[in-house]
Structure 1
């Protein structure tokens, strides 16, 4: 049985990544694609690397016919998805890749995104889309909110450790490096090649990054009390990939054993042997997460390093993994392609 899906915002990086992944999926068919400025064009014109595929032409959202569509991927910018999703037919299953439904508390959304939430009634039914930790809720959901790519990386490194009580919750530092595609496809001066290449820079320093809202929400929920981490992201001159280096207080071997046990049955999360650490090269273009643990020279401290591809496991691959669950398909279908190396 083939399930028909629509991708809204298909002219962005996450939209193109969804098309790339779904193109070889045996049980999902792309029935409709939307774009705003590029409406009327073919995907081959917008993304020449997809020219070998037979795909619907890009249309404006208001021109789409949702009859016969089983699920919609909404890959629209933040603060746009709320009004669009609110207007979609109630019968549709929806996965939103923006930030619009990630934060359960509308006041938290307003704090981090600077405007009131426009669809609080939908927020109440949205399920947070970190697959490995909300699998059963996602399976039964109508609306799933995809996580932030940075937020997902930090959570894979830390959630089992917080749940097991093996680290000091008041001494967590996340130092994160992110590829430029995480900033989207819109033209921005600081993302020009001449301004980005041959160096890297910190941004949102001092606790202003929006993904801190997700860290606060999820870590505090696990711990049963407020948990606030130090988090500094850095923009690096690479197209894809996130590497999170997390500094914690705890026994390194116990931390490694906790992560290894927590993820032993997870198909996409690989905990490396103790003392080994990952590279973004080793997960590029894939839905895999690699996690390493190294002991610090000071006793009672450890370094946890997690790597994933921000466009795949951090966004579109995560979305497809969740879609498989929502549509009753084997969770790993279409997602076991090996990473691209070098």
Structure 2
């Protein structure tokens, strides 16, 4: 039987050990809410970026098994960060993959990813049901749930799916954990195979947030174009208030190469071996690159050392736990019960 007393209750989506790199000697960190109606405050790191039972899974023998697994990953990553601070850079290939995985995991483990996934699923279900029309709701239910619905069930599904905002869909902790793990595994190679630059700051400092891994657009990208881990010019990750990691664009070295060119694999091997990595002194330009992207990527909170208030942007974004927005016209469609697309009439059937 599981010892309930040993089960962790407060689960962090930004590790305490990481936040200590931005805190005072007594582990106090300044929290700046993006909600302008709330005032900044200075709590202990143990009370920051955490939710009760965020990773608790009743299906596991140990309900907080994932939280404990995260602690192992975080412990290894924090050891690598300490190594960076002590001059152990570039990392070994083993540590490179480990830290790339930690970075990928940190980028998708928060409540913003969960809310975004729920939002996208809500949008798609609303579109599927609404576009199919009221008379096809029963078929949709059978295809998705494997049951023959009653008329009352069909009415309820139609009403919920086509109401403003879509149907009320929420993901379980287990579903969120599975999505987090799978997505992090997929993203890890996009980080490990980028050239890394370790930036050391002296007079200037870095801030962080509840979503500290940020994507930097390519200079010629249009504002309406999306940016992802495969297409970003760079990925910034403030490691401590005095240490930042920039994962830059690997394509700059591969321009003009065909995908099957042997030199592509040679460059990849050079990157993984750390032969293209570098250490750079922090400049004002580099501080602004990190801090502006960190602030713009924040979902609800910006965090910083109490002495570093001057490095926080004067104008912060509004809070937003949804980081991918479907096209507005799709989200706001009104359905009148008729199928959105009429069945195709072939010649001779008219």
Please give the range of the TM-score, normalised by the shorter of the 2 chains.
Answer: under 0.3
TM-score under structure 2 length normalisation: 0.24
Which has more radius of gyration? Answer: 2
More helix by share: 2
Q: Which structure dedicates a bigger proportion of its chain to strand?
A: 1
- What TM-score, normalized to structure 1? 0.25
Instruction: Choose between structure 1 and 2 for higher RCO, CA contacts under 8 A separated by at least 6 residues.
Output: 2
